[in-house]
Amino acid sequence: MREPQQDRSRATRRRLLEACVECLADLGWSATTVAVVAERAGVSRGAAQHHFPTREDLITAALEHMFDERIEQTRAELTTLQGATPTETVVARLVEHFTGTLFKAALQVWTAAAADEALRERVVPLEQKFGRVAYRMAIEALGVDDGDEVVHRLVQATLDLARGLGLADVLTDDSARRAEVVRAWAAHLDAVLRERVQV
Amino acid sequence: MREPQQDRSRATRRRLLEACVECLADLGWSATTVAVVAERAGVSRGAAQHHFPTREDLITAALEHMFDERIEQTRAELTTLQGATPTETVVARLVEHFTGTLFKAALQVWTAAAADEALRERVVPLEQKFGRVAYRMAIEALGVDDGDEVVHRLVQATLDLARGLGLADVLTDDSARRAEVVRAWAAHLDAVLRERVQV
């Protein structure tokens, strides 16, 4: 079977993006070079450089690609449940979104960008997009009206909480404690959201 | 005036610790070497190495020193207000604790430790201490009983939220949005805490 050139190129690109996110999460910022990623992806260094001329090109494309995929996946899961998604399920899924490999990879890049002006300029628009899209997904999944200021702020707080829980999970497995915090927060958020609907 | 040797040594140590935290926050993990910190502190490299044989010794001592100082300071401020500290004030102070130079420095170290086994072993006990002490301070400042499971979890959630808000402030100034999130969450936390006291 002959694989068309374009498909092959797309598959190579995808392998590089996925390997890049894994490298960032496992090896950290400094160790994630185009050469290391190409090797993990089983792609020649030349081919990798053809797709991504610089390390920054590769890394920002990888984060964006993985973020779009994760959001699509989470959105699809939450849509399947639609009509009766309990608040706790939505909160738990949002929190999961911030505790996987993608979050750990993004943390490496955000942290490097904190001390690197040029990188920061590339990363800030990505961060803003990620924040906006995750917020919108949360509002939709909860089925609430964020024209209400209290709802708007508490959904934002839920995403900030999720980010904080993600950070608490970077060095040690925090899943048992996290499950309890998520349960308590979700019960509280649910009560507030119901009350606001009645206002 | 002759400064006794011991005082001079203590002052040198302190300058190194403070300069180290500033370097981490400004320049990031890789650039924060003993030589760079010594220069910023106006201390000879030999003297720096006398106090801190390795970079890891310097960095972990710096985080611990600054954390202890910040906690003492926050505790003192909150004690002054005691008797009538509004929940919003306590929450705002906790959040401030996670948005300054110390948090930015710690983030560099936590993130480096995520991809460095030996560093992680040194950093995990520090992270656990910081979490425990901040939680205890929050319980005291709020004047609540954490024998109540709901109170316990919502105070933990408040610290996780604070950590997430800290992370959202690393690349851009998030203070305006943060103030609104803090206000909304504090109002709800306050309502829950009052309700629990009445139970």
pLDDT at A80 over 60: yes
Residue B128's pLDDT band (cuts 50, 70, 90): very high
B183 inside 8 A of chain A by CB: yes
Yes or no: say if B155 and B144 are a contact pair by the CB < 8 Å rule: yes
Q: Is B120 exposed, middle or buried (0-12, 13-18, 19+ CB in 10 A)?
A: middle
pLDDT at B153 over 80: yes
Residue of A nearest to B101 (CA): A114
3 state DSSP class of B82: coil
Length of chain A: 199
Measured between beta carbons, the chain B residues lying within 8 angstroms of A119 are none
- pLDDT top residue among A199 and A144: A144
Q: Which of A91, A88, A97 is nearest to A138 (CA)?
A: A91
Q: What mean pLDDT, rounded, does chain A reach?
A: 91
Instruction: Residue B114: count other Cβ atoms within 10 Å of its Cβ.
Output: 22
In the A/B pair of chains, how many CB contacts fall below 8 A? 133
Q: Which of B94, B165, B92, B154 is nearest to B130 (CA)?
A: B94
Q: Which of A95, A112, A100, A114 is nearest to A159 (CA)?
A: A95
Q: Which of A96, A175, A108 is nearest to A134 (CA)?
A: A96
- Give contacts of A 100-119 with B, CB under 8 A: 104, 107-108, 110-116
pLDDT at A76 over 90: no
Residue B71's pLDDT band (cuts 50, 70, 90): confident
Cα B111-A33-A130 angle, rounded to 5 deg: 55
Q: In Å, how far are A9, A125, A161, A188, B182 from A196, measured between CA atoms?
A: 51, 33, 21, 12, 19
Task: Average the pLDDT over B133-143 and give the result.
Answer: 91
pLDDT at A22 over 70: yes
Yes or no: say if A74 and A134 are a contact pair by the CB < 8 Å rule: no
Residue B78's pLDDT band (cuts 50, 70, 90): confident
pLDDT at A74 over 90: no
Residue A82's pLDDT band (cuts 50, 70, 90): low
CA distance B106 to A194: 39
Residue A159's pLDDT band (cuts 50, 70, 90): very high
Length of chain B: 199
- Give contacts of A 78-97 with B, CB under 8 A: none
**Per-residue confidence (pLDDT) for residue B8, from 0 to 100:** 87
**Per-residue confidence (pLDDT) for residue B195, from 0 to 100:** 85
- pLDDT top residue among B1 and B153: B153
**Per-residue confidence (pLDDT) for residue A1, from 0 to 100:** 56
pLDDT at A83 over 80: no
Task: Average the pLDDT over A98-124 and give the result.
Answer: 94
Please write down the HEC assignment for all residues of B142-182: HCCCCCCHHHHHHHHHHHHHHHHHHHHCCCCCCHHHHHHHH
pLDDT per residue over B8-52, tens digit each?
889 999 999 999 999 999 999 999 999 999 999 999 999 999 999
Yes or no: say if B114 and A108 are a contact pair by the CB < 8 Å rule: yes
Task: Average the pLDDT over B94-104 and give the result.
Answer: 91
> Which residue bears the tokens 């936390």?
B189
A184–B29 CB contact, under 8 Å = no
3 state DSSP class of A174: coil
> Which residues, 6+ apart, have CB-to-CB distance to B130 below 8 Å?
B67, B106
pLDDT per residue over A126-136, tens digit each?
999 999 999 99
Residue of B nearest to A151 (CA): B184
**Per-residue confidence (pLDDT) for residue B198, from 0 to 100:** 67
Measured between beta carbons, the chain B residues lying within 8 angstroms of A171 are 110, 113-114, 120, 123-124, 127
Measured between beta carbons, the chain B residues lying within 8 angstroms of A131 are 168
CATH topology of domain A56-198: Tetracycline Repressor; domain 2 (1.10.357)
B165–A170 CB contact, under 8 Å = no
pLDDT at A84 over 90: no
Yes or no: say if A160 and B165 are a contact pair by the CB < 8 Å rule: yes
Percentage of residues in chain B with pLDDT exceeding 70? 95
Q: In Å, how far are A29, A48, B4, B7 from A54, measured between CA atoms?
A: 14, 10, 55, 51
Q: Which of B54, B50, B52 is nearest to B17 (CA)?
A: B52
**Per-residue confidence (pLDDT) for residue B167, from 0 to 100:** 94
Task: Average the pLDDT over B164-180 and give the result.
Answer: 95
- Give contacts of B 2-31 with A, CB under 8 A: 25-31
A183 inside 8 A of chain B by CB: yes
Residue A157's pLDDT band (cuts 50, 70, 90): very high
Structure tokens at A138: 């949360």
Task: Average the pLDDT over B92-100 and give the result.
Answer: 90
DSSP A139-167: HHHHT--TTSHHHHHHHHHHHHHHHHHHH
Residue A23's pLDDT band (cuts 50, 70, 90): very high
B154 inside 8 A of chain A by CB: yes
pLDDT at A197 over 90: no
Class of domain B59-198: mainly alpha
Task: Average the pLDDT over A56-71 and give the result.
Answer: 93
DSSP A49-93: HHH-SSHHHHHHHHHHHHHHHHHHHHHHHHHHTTTS--HHHHHHH
**Per-residue confidence (pLDDT) for residue A75, from 0 to 100:** 80
Measured between beta carbons, the chain A residues lying within 8 angstroms of B31 are 115
Yes or no: say if A17 and A51 are a contact pair by the CB < 8 Å rule: no
**Per-residue confidence (pLDDT) for residue A198, from 0 to 100:** 67
